[in-house]
């Protein structure tokens, strides 16, 4: 079984975010980038298929040279090969088209992506990728088993869970539950050294327009001040809620 794991290069959630050029560009200075968490759950599940079923695992991302350390981390975790599409990832459909070209060229049985990236939170790429490949698609996937050419998956739906079966080739949008956080792998020294020798192939992007652009970024409004009230001063609390907050 050949598996392709789509990797997004995203800012760590603890990073302090700023913008430049009149809030039109993201300021990367001092920002630590990581594997998108939803993608990391998928990569960890792919490693399970590699170890238990002998699958081969490739990773791919769309981005410039600055994203290669993230791909190298995926190789250190255990992926066999890495592919970088040499283009800026700014538009969901454009990214899906680049990933589809890589998937078609590689003849993959299973393509794992995160249900969304934690930077733009578009949640659109896995579905569009499946559409471009004319492949089966299961989103918000929290469990995945493969037997022969049949996949059995559990996904989250409103108010519950749904179990589905689908034939390969299959695209999934994974998330936490596909594996647990405790199952995520930290590269060890041996993995890091081996990752330096594994192939990282750079390919030029397929032709395609980018249909959306970011016009301007805006930070959330700062939180208001907090008024502390002594726990035994109920009268003051009621007065503040009634006259200042005006919620009662």
Q: Could you read off the pLDDT tens digit of each residue along the chain, which spans 248 residues?
A: 999 999 999 999 888 889 999 898 889 888 999 999 999 999 999 999 999 999 999 999 999 999 999 999 999 999 999 999 999 988 899 999 999 999 999 999 999 999 999 888 889 999 999 999 999 999 999 999 999 999 999 999 999 999 999 999 999 999 999 999 999 998 889 899 989 899 999 999 998 888 888 889 988 888 888 889 898 999 999 998 998 888 88
Do the domain assignments include residue 21?
yes
| Tally of domains in the chain | 1
CATH number assigned to the domain comprising residue 48: 3.40.50.620
Do the domain assignments include residue 142?
yes
Among candidate residues 164, 167, 172, 152, the one with its CA nearest the CA of residue 111: 172
Do the domain assignments include residue 10?
yes
Q: Give the HSE-up count for residue 117: Cα atoms under 13 Å, Cβ half-sphere.
A: 24
Domain around 191: 2-219
Radius of gyration of the chain (CA): 22
Do the domain assignments include residue 194?
yes
- Residue 145's alpha-carbon distances to 45, 150, 174, 246, in angstroms, are 10, 8, 13, 53
pLDDT computed for residue 208 by the predictor: 80
Do the domain assignments include residue 184?
yes
Do the domain assignments include residue 241?
no
Do the domain assignments include residue 228?
no
Tokens representing 245? Answer: 């907050």
Do the domain assignments include residue 85?
yes
Task: Let me know: does 203 contact 84? Beta carbons within 8 Å.
Answer: yes
């Amino acid at each position: 079984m050949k598996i392709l794991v789509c990797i997004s290069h995203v800012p760590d959630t603890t990073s302090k975010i700023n913008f430049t050029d009149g809030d039109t560009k993201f300021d990367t200075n001092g920002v630590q980038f990581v594997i998108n968490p939803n993608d990391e759950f998928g990569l960890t599940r792919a490693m399970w298929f590699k170890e238990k079923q002998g699958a081969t695992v490739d990773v791919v991302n769309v981005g410039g040279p600055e994203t290669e350390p993230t791909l190298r981390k995926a190789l250190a975790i255990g992926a066999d090969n890495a592919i970088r599409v040499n283009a800026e990832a700014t538009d969901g459909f454009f990214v899906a088209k680049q990933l589809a070209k890589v998937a078609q060229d590689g003849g993959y049985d299973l393509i794992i992506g995160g249900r969304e990236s934690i930077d733009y939170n578009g949640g659109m790429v896995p579905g569009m990728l499946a559409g471009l490949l004319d492949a089966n698609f299961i989103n918000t996937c929290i469990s995945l088993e493969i037997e022969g050419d049949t996949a059995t998956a559990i996904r989250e739906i409103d108010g519950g869970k749904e179990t589905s079966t689908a034939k390969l080739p299959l695209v999934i949008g994974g998330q936490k539950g596909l594996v647990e956080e405790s199952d995520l792998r930290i590269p060890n020294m041996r993995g890091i050294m081996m990752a330096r020798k594994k192939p990282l192939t750079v390919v030029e992007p397929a032709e395609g327009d980018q249909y959306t652009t970011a016009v301007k970024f805006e930070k959330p409004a700062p939180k208001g001040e907090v008024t502390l009230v002594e726990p035994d001063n109920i009268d003051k609390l009621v007065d503040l809620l009634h006259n200042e907050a005006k919620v009662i």
